[in-house]
Structure 1
Amino acid sequence: QKDILANTFEGLVDSDENGKIIPGLAEDWSVDESGTSYTFKIRKDARWSDGSPITAHDFVDFFSSILNKDMDNIYAKQLNCIFGAEKYRQGRCNFEDVAVNAVDTRTLRIRLNYPCNYFLNILAQPVYSLRNIDYKLVNWKKNYKSILYSGSFVIDRISQDGSVILKKNNSYWNKSRVKSSKIVLTSLNTSESALAAFEKDRINVFTNPPLGEIKNIKNKVNYITSPRLEGKGIVFNMKKKNVTSEAEFRNFVSLVVDRGNIVKNILYDTASAADSYIPDYVSDGLNGRFMNRVFFQNTSQRESAVETIKNLNYDKNKHLVFIYVDSVENKKVCENIAENIEKASGITVDCRGYESSRFNQQLKGGYYDMAEIDYRGDYDYPLAFLNMWSSSSAYGLCGYRNEKIDNELMDAVFQKDNSQRIEIFRDIESDLAQDMPMVPLYFENTVIVSKTYISGVYADKLGNIKLDRAYLVH
């Protein structure tokens, strides 16, 4: 569904495959000297799919809907930077008290509580694309014909097998850029079934092929990898009174992990080894890249690892439980790490794979010593990766608390100077690298496989597949 959303609706701004902020339904925007007032100019030719004009008032209605306390919107907290948004979401004021206003038909003004140079990065997410949030959208498979679309495509038909047929939106302001008149989206349960359909010419594009087949297909197809704001890491149960509560042991684990081997020989280069807590392709909020420090090495540093725990008191006979979401790749990764730990320390690590919901139960119940988890940035900015280490974050269930990091995160939010904010981020990463509440392993790529006669398919940093430039090469 996320790919349908990304291709049928558009927001004030968008982002390209490199994460650069580009105009969407707003042709331009300005920010006042305080950095807290954003004024967006809506395009004259911005129209809904029925041909009616899109106005600033439509965006006011949209923000009123997504911030409503009755909406189950897990992303709404991101908009707490908007003046009045948090109070409205909590039901403590009316939307008239929220600083999202239509100055006129084509001018939208949004006032923030504090300077937020990554505000556009937040708005560029598909979840903030313009749509009427009503019963039609909730039951979109039944009501798709009567939904108003604001993006490149409209849903033309849903076939009996569940395939969604997209048709070019002829009312879209940038319809000349949309190269295909029709695209069929088919949902398949596994990467293996997608590959089989691809080889039988039933589909001509799919994502994230079976890892074991990459070598066989890579040179026969268009094979594109795009970095994603998502990775894997190891967290530790710090509530237990055992070796995992010791920073020396957590640093030891980070040192024995062979990230380069995992990425190359288990994941077949569908990911990049993590050398820090924040990927090196994250935006700095100014359409540039966040320049990071290197905290972690690609290869196993066994000698340094052993030195790290030489004075640590631990029971070699006590097994550690290492849990993960059950998959072939996760099993291989965790067993590889467990083997390195055992060889360097003599501690036996018991790897246990669980179905996703059961894994979450084990995690919440504390029935583990180490756990391989997904972690992601919901928007393209360092703070999205660092906020997870605040004491109020859901990641706090592992037992990690650091008052200094809490204060630094607060300072970063209210810091007016971007270069100073970047320095705060680097300080937070240094604190994390010392405490090691999580050992970053790798950051994932979206892999797009297509026939050689297909061009223009790309993915954004959130892993959404964009089809506005897709076409058949003749």
Structure 2
Amino acid sequence: MQKIKKFTLAAVSVSAAFLLAACGNSNSQPSSGKTSLNLMETDVVSSLDTSVTVSFPQWDTLVQTMAGLYRSDKNDQPVPAVATSYHKSSDGKTYTFNLRHNAKWSNGDTVTAKDFVTAWRKGVSPKAMSGYNYIFSNIKNADQISQGKKAVSSLGVKAVGKYKLVVQLENPEPTFIDKMVIPAFYPQNTRLVKKYGAKYGTAAKYTAFDGAFKVTKWTNTSEKWTAVKNPYYYAKSAVKLQKLNYQVVKDSNTAHQLFQQGSLDDAVVSGTTAQGLQNNKNLYHLYRSGNNFVKLNMAKGAVLANKQLRQALYLAVNRTQLSKKVLADGSKPSYTFSAPNAAKDPASGKDFATAAQPKETYNVAKAKKLWQAGLKQLGKSKLDLTLVASDITTDKNVSEFLQSQLESKLPGLKVTVKNLPSKSAYNLAANGKFDLYLSFWINDYADPYSELQTLEMTNSHNYGKYTSVAYNNELKQARKNAATRSVYFNHLLKAQEQMNQDYPVLPLYTMVEDHLVNANLKGVLWHKVGMVDYTQAYFK
């Protein structure tokens, strides 16, 4: 998932017994009197309706307050939540989910199969404003619906009574269950959606929750909000905390100060603040399955449609220097668009990102030759490029580093940096008004496809207009002709290898979050894929 600043189950059915393991040890009781957890977000939650928007603060909040068909365990593997089991047809195209009968919404309504149908139809609709309707691709008719060619009612998902959900796929999908953990597939209360319409998800009073907590005292402009324990949650006995207190903290130094004061139990720090805290006993490195990178504008007529210029940019960046000297927060160099910790290549057993890594990653002399050749092809002797990035401290520092690296190593290049508020930078990128766009992506579920699909020709996140037929064909084959994980990942590997030859992005560094954590806070599920889960947390 790209956030506006600042994942194979072989068995045909899954037993509900896994749920007990997912909930943790029910005998683990907090020994302190503290039952409120103080957390931060870097921005407001503008909506809790995933068909309206998708953002880091939103998904963070939803993971604590909602339950989907499945949830992620401590190993980032899917385990049953609202679903108790599923059955997969022999052709791999139909999944029948059996839902638990004791799942309820925070207003007492029963969670039904229809609530999933309601939410998925909203999410896939061409009217959805989240830019995330592509996540439903491969569910029958999803792509045609998103393109406005078919009615949302034709989506291959239906409720059979209250407690049976049937999903029809267009092709077998080895990692389909893995996707069910992400908030885009969470249900919505059908009765309230009909009652409130566009107001659903805009304030606590217009929203219902079926997870461990329920949001209170929140509107879509709130800089502080609260989530309290949900008495109707089906696994409420596993929830030890009574309350989650959120506040928006945009400045890293402020986050540090609030942690020192005891006003935050988990403070996310970055930039120079994080650099100075690397030996702090409360610091925890969370290595996310995500990458920070630069998207290149390859649209027709754009100067970076020239491959030699793009390759020169790739080879001119000293990523080791960036991670060790500029970031100095535990970040590591990244050389592929595919992020680590998403999955292992079944053939080699290696992390997918490592298996797909190109052999040549830094060569200034070659970069200069390629740059001169690219300029000659364009009939130019010099070039001005605009780098768009957010105005948070880390992005400012990375922008300055890139500007210095590229201008000093590629003769005739001038890089103009535009550090803007996150939403403004995002809007420029989405409208193609950039040459270079500093961005990042965290895998939504444990599958490299989560990020690779964002560079398909028709994907809404393909701001740079990458148009490789070979790349798109490998992803298409992965979707349509991959009945096994081995075949599936082989196509993904070939897609990444094609990208390595085309240079549509400049990978920079893997995403690490530096958390200052209350030493007494236990039971947190620090997911590398997806959001951090505090639903089983407690203070010792």
TM-score by length of 1: 0.85
Query: CA-to-partner distance for each residue in 1:446-472, whole Å, 9 max, x for gaps?
Result: 333222122233444465332112211
Residue 240 of structure 2 corresponds to: 179
Counterpart position of 1:352: 417
Q: Which residue of 2 aligns with 1:255?
A: 315
Preserved CA contact (<8 Å) 1:47 1:53: yes
Q: In the aligned structure 2, how far is the partner of 1:306 from the partner of 1:271?
A: 27
Assess if the C-alpha contact under 8 Å between 1:280 and 1:289 holds in 2: no
The aligned counterpart of 2:11 is none
Asked if 1:235 is matched to 2:300, the reply is no
Q: Which residue of structure 2 aligns with residue 92 of structure 1?
A: 150
Instruction: Give the 3 Å change call, closer, same or farther, for CA 80–142 of structure 1 in structure 2.
Output: closer
Q: Distance in 2 between matches of 1:412 and 1:294?
A: 16
Alpha-carbon contact 1:237-1:370 (below 8 Å) kept: no
Give the Cα–Cα distance (whole angstroms) in 1 for the partners of residues 467 and 152 of structure 2: 35
Q: 1:391 aligned to 2:473?
A: no
Residues 261-315 of structure 1 deviation map (CA, whole Å, 9 limit, x = unaligned): 21222222353321322112113699x9863425357974334544655765548
Q: Which residue of 1 aligns with 2:101?
A: 44
Aligned CA distance change for structure 1 residues 98 and 8 (closer, same or farther; 3 Å): same
Tell me the distance in 1 between the aligned counterparts of 2:247 and 2:297. Answer: 39
Are residue 454 (structure 1) and residue 540 (structure 2) matched?
Answer: no
Which of 368, 374, 397 is the matching residue for 1:332? Answer: 397
- Residue 489 of structure 2 corresponds to residue 425 of structure 1: no
- Cross-structure match for 1:321: 385
Asked if 2 retains the 8 angstrom alpha-carbon contact of 1:29 and 1:40, the reply is yes
Conserved 8 A contact 2:386-2:434: yes
Change (3 A) 1:447 1:297: farther
The amino acid of 2:180's aligned partner reads L
**Helix, strand or coil for the counterpart of 1:203?**
coil
- Asked if 2 retains the 8 angstrom alpha-carbon contact of 1:67 and 1:88, the reply is yes
**Aligned residues: percent identity?**
21
CA 311–205 in structure 1, closer or farther in 2 if over 3 Å, else same: closer
* Distance across 2 between alignment mates of 1:361 and 1:320: 21
> Which of the numbers 179, 182, 188 marks the counterpart of 1:122?
179
In 1: Cα distance, 2:264 partner to 2:528 partner = 24
Shift of 1:151: 0.3
**Contact 2:240–2:536 (CA<8 Å) still a contact in 1?**
yes
8 Å CA contact 2:294–2:506 kept in 1: the answer is yes
SS of the counterpart of 2:472? helix
In the TM superposition, 1:359-374 aligns within 5 A as 359=425, 363=429, 368-374=434-440
Instruction: Please state whether the residue corresponding to 1:398 is helix, strand or coil.
Output: coil
Measured at CA, do residues 407 and 382 of structure 1 come closer, stay the same or move farther in structure 2, by a change above 3 Å?
Answer: same
Q: Which amino acid aligns with 2:67?
A: E
Aligned position for 1:266: 326
Contact 2:141 2:150 in 1 (8 A): no
Instruction: Tell me, in whole angstroms, the C-alpha distance in 2 between the residues paired with 1:142 and 1:312.
Output: 53
Worse-superposed segment, 402-411 or 299-308: 299-308
Residue 106 of structure 1 corresponds to 163
Instruction: Kindly state the Cα deviation for residue 38 of structure 1 after the two structures are TM-superposed.
Output: 0.8
| In the alignment, structure 1 residue 163 sits paired with structure 2 residue 216 | no
Aligned AA (1:10)? A
1:7 Cα offset (Å): 1.0
Q: Does 1:403 align with 2:469?
A: yes
The C-alpha deviation readout for 1:122-170, integer Å capped at 9, x for no partner, is 32111322222622893657553x7432101123555998532222223
Q: CA deviation at 1:432?
A: 1.3
Larger CA deviation: 159-168 vs 7-16? 159-168
1:175, CA displacement in angstroms?
Answer: 1.8
Quote the residue 2:274 is aligned against: 214
Shift of 1:363: 4.6
Give the root-mean-square deviation of aligned CA atoms: 3.4
- Distance in 1, matches of 2:133 and 2:480, equals 19
Aligned to 2:508: 441
Q: Is the 1:251–1:308 contact (alpha carbons within 8 Å) kept by the matching residues of 2?
A: yes
Q: Show the counterpart of 1:190.
A: 251
2:352 corresponds to 1:291: yes
How far the C-alpha of 1:5 sits from its partner, in A, is: 1.5
Residues 1:9 and 1:192: Cα distance change in structure 2 (over 3 Å): same
Q: Which residue of 1 aligns with 2:406?
A: 341
Distance 1:4 1:31, change over 3 A: same
Q: CA deviation at 1:396?
A: 5.3
- Say which SS state the counterpart of residue 341 (structure 2) adopts: coil
One-letter code aligned to 2:231: N
Query: How far is 1:366 from its partner?
Result: 6.1
Q: Secondary structure at the match of 1:374?
A: strand
Write the letter of the residue equivalent to 2:438. Answer: E
- Of the structure 1 ranges 436-445 and 370-379, higher mean CA displacement relative to structure 2 is found in 370-379
Q: Following the alignment from structure 1 to structure 2, what is the Cα–Cα distance between the partners of residues 94 and 352?
A: 42
For the 8 Å contact 2:123–2:132, the answer to whether it is kept is no
Distance of 2:104 and 2:163 partners within structure 1:
12
Report if aligned partners of 1:239, 1:398 keep a CA contact under 8 Å in 2: no
Distance 2:328 2:61 in 1: 29
DSSP 3-state at the match of 1:130 = coil
Mapped partners of 1:457, 1:340: distance in 2: 39
For the residues of structure 1 that align with 2:222 and 2:307, how far apart are their CA atoms?
53
SS of 2:320 mapped into structure 1? helix
For structure 2, list consecutive stretches of 5 or more residues without a partner in the other structure: 1-44, 46-57
Query: Which residue identity lines up with residue 457 of structure 2 in the other structure?
Result: S
Q: Find the partner of 2:261 among 188, 200, 210.
A: 200
1:15 to 65, 72, 81: 72
Q: One-letter code of the match for 1:102?
A: A
Residue 10 of structure 1 and its aligned partner are, at CA, apart by 0.7
Q: Letter of the 1:260 partner, please give it.
A: T
- Any conservation in 2 of the 1:67–1:76 contact (CA below 8 Å)? yes
Contact conserved, 1:258 with 1:298, CA < 8 A, in 2?
no
Q: Could you tell me which amino acid in structure 2 is paired with residue 340 of structure 1?
A: Q
Kindly state the Cα deviation for residue 119 of structure 1 after the two structures are TM-superposed: 2.0
Cα deviation, 1:216-273, whole Å, max 9, x if unaligned, reads: 434141424131435222414564575x443233222222211122122222235332
The alpha-carbon distance between structure 1 residues 125 and 463, as it changes in their structure 2 partners (threshold 3 A), is closer
* Aligned residue number for residue 246 of structure 1: 306
**Are residues 1:415 and 2:481 paired?**
yes
Question: Aligned partners of 1:227 and 1:461: how far apart in 2?
Answer: 4
Match of 1:131 among 163, 188, 202: 188
Q: CA distance change for structure 1 residues 121 and 161 in 2, over 3 Å: closer, same or farther?
A: closer
TM-score normalised to structure 2 length: 0.76
8 Å CA contact 1:233–1:442 kept in 2: the answer is: no
Q: 1:426 to 1:393 in 2, by over 3 A?
A: same
